[in-house]
Amino acid sequence: MVTNNPYQAYQQNVVNTASPGELTLMLYNGCLKFMKLARAAIEQNNIEVKNENLLRAQNIIRELMVTLNMDVEVSKNMMIMYDYINRRLVEVNIKNDLTILDEVEGYVTEFRDTWKQVIQLTRQKAHQQGGQA
């Protein structure tokens, strides 16, 4: 795909060269971004923008759900949490409830921060062993 926009080209290259762990981190960050945009839209009573951004956040949560390896025990617990977050995002969209949005933003932020630490620890370990993460 040829693009004349250097920023778009850069972003596409970042995604194409990212490790699976980095892609997961990007999903968490994207989900948080869309929740923040939805929050602003709720505060401005912009229903269309709110709906659009909450649907994007839900799509990311669903993507995280389908990428889980259900052979790993922690994935079963993550599936329960992702399902809960997804249902709560639907509630936010119906009720315009910022308290619910605060709750799910907190969970996604925790997941993102934990995932970021895992990536950092993996890189440090690989670096100490002379390999790459």
Residue 9, pLDDT > 80, answer: no
33: helix, coil or strand? helix
pLDDT at 36: 98
CB atoms within 10 A of CB 105: 20
pLDDT at 13: 59
pLDDT at 82: 98
Predicted confidence band of residue 32 (pLDDT cuts 50, 70, 90): very high
Cβ contact 35:97 at 8 Å: no
**Which residues, 6 or more positions from 42, have their beta carbon under 8 angstroms from its beta carbon?**
50, 92, 96, 98, 101
Residue 64, pLDDT > 70, answer: yes
pLDDT at 122: 87
Q: What is the pLDDT of residues 78-120, one digit of tens each?
A: 999 999 999 999 999 999 999 999 999 999 999 999 999 999 9
> In Å, what is the CA distance from 52 to each residue of 4, 26, 37, 39, 90?
27, 19, 9, 12, 12
**Which pTM value belongs to this model?**
0.84
Instruction: Say how far residue 126 (Cα) sits from the centre of its chain.
Output: 25
pLDDT at 7: 62
